[in-house]
Chain A
Amino acid sequence: MGERPADGHRFGALSLGFLAVTVLSGVALVPMYRPEDALASVEAIHGAIPGAWLIRAVHAFAALGFLLSTVIHLAQVVVRGDVGRVPAGIWWRSTLLLPIAVAGMLTGFLLRGDAEAIAAMAVGRGVLGSVPWIGEGLATLLLGPPGAGLGPVALHHAGTLTVLPWLLSFEHGRRAWPDLRSLVTALLASIAIAGIVPVAPGPAEGAAGRLLGPWYLLGLQGMLLDLPVVTAWIVPAAAVLGVGMLAHVRGRARTAVMAGLGGVAVAWVGWTVRLLVAGAG
């Protein structure tokens, strides 16, 4: 399993542990999932196949753990002033772990195939399509052509969005496998949360009222109640660029970038509250 990570990088190591648990549980789910009959197969995972619900819940919460531990690791590095210790190229590529982790979780949400997932797929295609010049190609590359079903999304989820974070994590931490402590911690944490918080597919047809996206995109959904569609990719892209720029700026400029990132976080929470309070339906 390699050397133990330094204490200052505990969450970085833990993120690799969560990534390993996510991938292993995902592999276990592959024989049970059919993208052409997504909702029925997810319902079977939650009913007909004994124990399969636990594997899916562990998969979902390990992915969440990967995202959270990556964010905490990033925050620790920034707060401790360790940004300059990582070469700029690796820093930029490691920054991509954030949108890739979100994309992995979002595609997992789409693979449920229920009413919320179908709506999220439509919104995702609309947002990607609003990117000038490359939007149509981007939407087709990531979500497949219109009417293609969930096959392309399933391939990206299991392939692209598994290989890329592993490669980037390896480049960043020079470690292909998690240390034993991180792996066990990630596994136990995922199982514990899976036993407490139920994970289940939604209905095929949404109930009356609103449909909500996954929790981490509620700010975006709230934002789109009032702002143009292009803000749905401009704001996240600006946030990722801001994190990447931390490798190049010092002093007041860094303070300004961090204030901007803080502003995005506050606005995200604000739009989430706006959505939940005002309702969309």
Chain B
Amino acid sequence: MDRASRFCRRTFLGDAWRTVAWGAAGVVTLGLAGMLRHVVGRTIDIPLPADLLERAGRQGGVQVDGIFVRWSGDTPTAFSLRCTHLGCRTRPDPASGGFACPCHGSRFDREGAVIRGPAEAPLARVPVRLEGARWIATVEADHG
């Protein structure tokens, strides 16, 4: 069989059909996987015990389970330590007093605002609510 006959129209159409079929199967699979994310995607409650909040007040803020908690007036506030670039967990940066991402070098100040990229958005605020006598922060399951 010579080269020209191997690339005949029928062969091309057959290959094209198989490619389209596999591509369609892939898109359906990815669509189903994307739906799965919404089915199992959930939030997590992080209790903020009194001793932790007392320490946050004394030290100007504390880390717990991937969030940074501090007092703002008479209410505790929190933001996620998940870097807004690609999701690595930021760490305290002694040099600036803020936070640094160990993956790509983004830096944030103590308020969570961006000092240096590649991150463009500030660290995400985490809602904190009072349930009875307990303060509770609510984060996404993949908050970091």
Contact = CB atoms under 8 A, between A and B. Distances in A.
A173 interface: no
Given A123-B103, A146-B141, A224-B104, A141 B86 contact: no
Given A127-B86, A140-B33, A146-B37, A280 B104 contact: yes
Contacts of A224: 85-86, 104, 118
B97 interface: no
B135 to A, nearest CB: 22
A180 interface: no
A199 B105 CA distance: 26
Contacts of A4: none
A137 B34 contact: yes
A119 B89 contact: yes
B41 interface: yes
B115 to A, nearest CB: 14
Contacts of A140: 33-34, 36-37
A119 B102 contact: yes
B26 to A, nearest CB: 8
B33 A210 contact: no
B87 A122 contact: yes
Contact of A147 (B6, B44, B100, B105): B44
Contacts, number: 101
A126 B86 contact: yes
Given A136-B37, A137-B34, A89 B15 contact: yes
B64 interface: no
B41 A226 contact: no
Interface string B49-89: 00000000000000000000000000000000010011111
Contacts of A229: 85-86
B118 A141 contact: no
A147 B141 contact: yes
B142 A225 contact: no
B142 A146 contact: yes
A206 interface: yes
Give the contact-size bracket for chain A.
Answer: 35 or more
A83 B33 CA distance: 36
A119 B103 CA distance: 7
Interface in A6-62: none
Contact of A221 (B31, B104, B144): B104
A122 B103 CA distance: 10
Nearest to B87: A122
A138 interface: yes
A150 to B, nearest CB: 14
B21 interface: no
B24 interface: no
Q: Which of B35, B87, B89 has the most CB of A within 10 A?
A: B87
A163 interface: no
A262 interface: no
Contact of A122 (B35, B37, B88, B118): B88
Nearest to B82: A122
A153 B39 CA distance: 19
Contact of A208 (B27, B34, B91): B91
Contact of B30 (A87, A134, A210, A279): A134
Nearest to A130: B86
A228 B89 CA distance: 19
Interface of B: 3, 6, 15, 27, 29-37, 39-42, 44, 82, 85-89, 91, 100-105, 118, 140-142, 144
Given A123-B86, A125-B142, 14 more contacts: A87-B6, A119-B89, A119-B102, A137-B30, A137-B33, A137-B34, A141-B29, A145-B36, A146-B142, A224-B86, A224-B104, A279-B105, A280-B101, A281-B105
10 contacts: A118-B89, A123-B86, A125-B87, A137-B37, A140-B34, A145-B41, A206-B102, A210-B102, A221-B103, A279-B105
